[in-house]
């Protein structure tokens, strides 16, 4: 998979993308992440990419020309399955969306800043808008990093255990069951007997029941969605 990211602050990604699972995915050539500085695509002096909004009001808006220049230049060499704008008023990122995007080959992510991007870019270029929650951040870089991490771990071969992602929370609209490791007896706190029974059927049944129980307690809305 190839993911291109348009941003005015490419340095913000150096931490999340240079460690752990994403680092291994890149080393295995399963994932290519290209960071593009939007200031490289502007024709304005001093790398300007924002301006005052029409109608007045506080906050600057990212201009359409640098964004259009960048999108068109990148699209000339890469056919994108989706051009995604990270926006607080976009579709909520959930596991179903991550699963869907993990099947794509090429994604372009636009990171907004200031008061957002010119609406004409959203109307004529963006194919999908995604939000990671009902709150506002300083820019789209952190949400973009969250999206990339969520999608990348689902690419076959990225995780050491191919089945690991299938048992994450929110797969099948259920939260993940409790997990335990050694020792089996820690300060008198015992690991459930089912998990050390040695019977895969008993273990699987226990995990499913615990997933349902935990979901009912903490996120009953997920079960309602499942019924729909």
pLDDT digits over 170-221, tens only?
A: 667 889 899 999 999 999 999 999 999 999 999 999 999 999 999 999 999 9
What residue ranges of the chain are covered by domains with CATH 3.40.1280.10? 2-152
> Looking at domain 169-227, does it have CATH number 1.10.1270.20?
yes
CATH topology of domain 2-152: Alpha/beta knot (3.40.1280)
pLDDT digits over 27-51, tens only?
A: 999 999 999 999 999 998 899 999 9
* Alpha-carbon gap, residue 147 to 149, rounded angstroms: 5
Mean predicted lDDT score pLDDT of the chain? 92
Where is average pLDDT lowest: 12-16, 137-141, 198-202?
Answer: 12-16
Residue 69 has pLDDT above 80, yes or no: yes
DSSP assigned state of 192: P
- Helices 20-27 and 141-152, axial angle in degrees (round to 10): 60
Residue 105: what pLDDT?
98
CA nearest neighbour of 65 among 87, 49, 46: 49
Whether residue 135 contacts residue 88, with contact meaning beta carbons closer than 8 Å, is answered with yes
What residue ranges of the chain are covered by domains with CATH 1.10.1270.20? 169-227
0.85 exceeded by pTM: yes
Backbone CA torsion sign across 148, 154, 160, 163:
positive
Residue 100: what pLDDT?
95
* Alpha-carbon gap, residue 123 to 117, rounded angstroms: 11
Residue 167: what pLDDT?
54
Residue 81 has pLDDT above 70, yes or no: yes
Residue 162: what pLDDT?
54
């Amino acid at each position: 998979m190839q993911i291109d990211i348009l941003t005015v602050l490419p340095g913000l990604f150096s931490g999340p993308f240079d460690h752990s699972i994403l680092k291994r995915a890149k080393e295995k050539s399963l994932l290519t992440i290209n960071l593009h500085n939007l200031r490289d695509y502007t024709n304005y002096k001093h790398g300007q990419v924002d301006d005052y909004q029409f109608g007045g009001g506080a906050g600057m808006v990212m201009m359409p020309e640098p964004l259009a220049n960048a999108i068109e230049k990148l699209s000339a060499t890469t056919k994108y399955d989706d051009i995604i704008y990270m926006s607080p008023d976009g579709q909520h990122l959930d596991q179903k969306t991550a699963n869907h995007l993990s099947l794509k080959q090429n994604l372009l992510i636009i990171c907004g800043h200031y008061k957002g991007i010119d609406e004409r870019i959203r109307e004529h270029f963006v194919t999908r808008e995604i939000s990671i929650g009902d709150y506002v951040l300083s820019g789209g870089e952190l949400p973009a990093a969250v999206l990339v991490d969520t999608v990348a771990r689902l690419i076959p071969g990225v995780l050491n255990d191919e089945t690991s992602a299938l048992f994450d929370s929110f797969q099948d609209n259920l939260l993940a069951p409790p997990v335990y490791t050694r020792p089996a007896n820690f300060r008198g706190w015992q690991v459930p007997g089912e998990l050390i029974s040695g019977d895969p059927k008993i273990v699987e049944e226990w995990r499913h029941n615990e997933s349902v129980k935990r979901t009912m307690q903490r996120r009953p809305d997920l079960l309602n969605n499942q019924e729909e």
